[in-house]
Chain A
């Protein structure tokens, strides 16, 4: 069974640009989550999408946004990039029902903002 996939693996942008990160969940999973792993800040929850709707949002500014498509894949968009947005962005997915709490992670997209 294929795991969570993310693209691109690496992304280099300059300050002020926009970045788009993509995620495909495990087949059959309907929820997608985004986390940021920045140096010195640990793993921080960004967003949760389920059945195409945003269900929960972490303490991040509005320039962090995303969406979930009908096939349950997801995009994370970061507008007006700042240097401190440089981080590993991890996507996770989970199934429906009682097992929703268990999240399975992809390999991440490493974003570098210059």
Chain B
């Protein structure tokens, strides 16, 4: 079945460092891909999405490109802030069942 694998955390960075969180997927069709962020004690917020190959999603300085050839959707940000500290989830929606399949989440801790 469909699945999402993302890098284990925690990821600890200094403020203004470059961020990459790796995400790869397995899907039988052509899924839509998402990054969600969860701040402590809160629900999930949609960060960005891409619905077809080579699409780039972007929001709040974060970017991710849908790479069909490598089945990847890595999250990047050029300069992280302390306020970016959260858990980041990569997810796919395969369409037929319309359910989101999530990775295990990556905890990002940004130190001043």
The secondary structure that dominates the A interface is: strand
Q: CB of B51 within 8 A of chain A?
A: yes
Distance, CA A88 to CA B97, complexed state (A): 22
Of the candidates A31, A45, A55, A90, the one whose C-beta lies within 8 Å of that of B44 is A90
Question: Are B99 and A42 in touch, CB under 8 angstroms?
Answer: no
**Pairs across A and B, CB under 8 Å, 7 listed:** A4-B43, A42-B105, A90-B43, A92-B100, A101-B93, A102-B34, A102-B46
Distance, CA A103 to CA B103, complexed state (A): 16
Question: Are A42 and B36 in touch, CB under 8 angstroms?
Answer: no
Interface centre among B36, B95, B98 (most CB of A within 10 A): B98
Question: Are A35 and B98 in touch, CB under 8 angstroms?
Answer: no
Given contacts A101-B32, A105-B43, contact A58 B102 (CB under 8 A): no
Interface centre among A31, A58, A105 (most CB of B within 10 A): A105
Nearest-CB distance from B35 to chain A (Å)?
A: 12
Given A42-B105, A102-B32, A105-B44, 5 more contacts at CB 8 Å?
Answer: A45-B99, A45-B100, A48-B97, A55-B98, A102-B34
Nearest-CB distance from A37 to chain B (Å)?
A: 9
Number of residues from B at the complex interface, CB < 8 A: 22
Question: Are A106 and B98 in touch, CB under 8 angstroms?
Answer: no
Q: CB of A56 within 8 A of chain B?
A: yes
Question: Are B46 and A42 in touch, CB under 8 angstroms?
Answer: no
Q: CB of A66 within 8 A of chain B?
A: no
- CB-CB contacts below 8 Å: B72-104 with A: 89, 93, 95, 97-104
Contacts of B93 in A (CB 8 A): 101-103
With both beta carbons as reference points, the residue of chain B lying nearest to A94 in the complex is identified as: B98
Distance, CA A2 to CA B103, complexed state (A): 28
Interface centre among A33, A43, A92, A100 (most CB of B within 10 A): A43
Q: CB of A52 within 8 A of chain B?
A: no
With both beta carbons as reference points, the residue of chain B lying nearest to A102 in the complex is identified as: B49
Question: Are B98 and A104 in touch, CB under 8 angstroms?
Answer: no
Question: Are B102 and A107 in touch, CB under 8 angstroms?
Answer: no
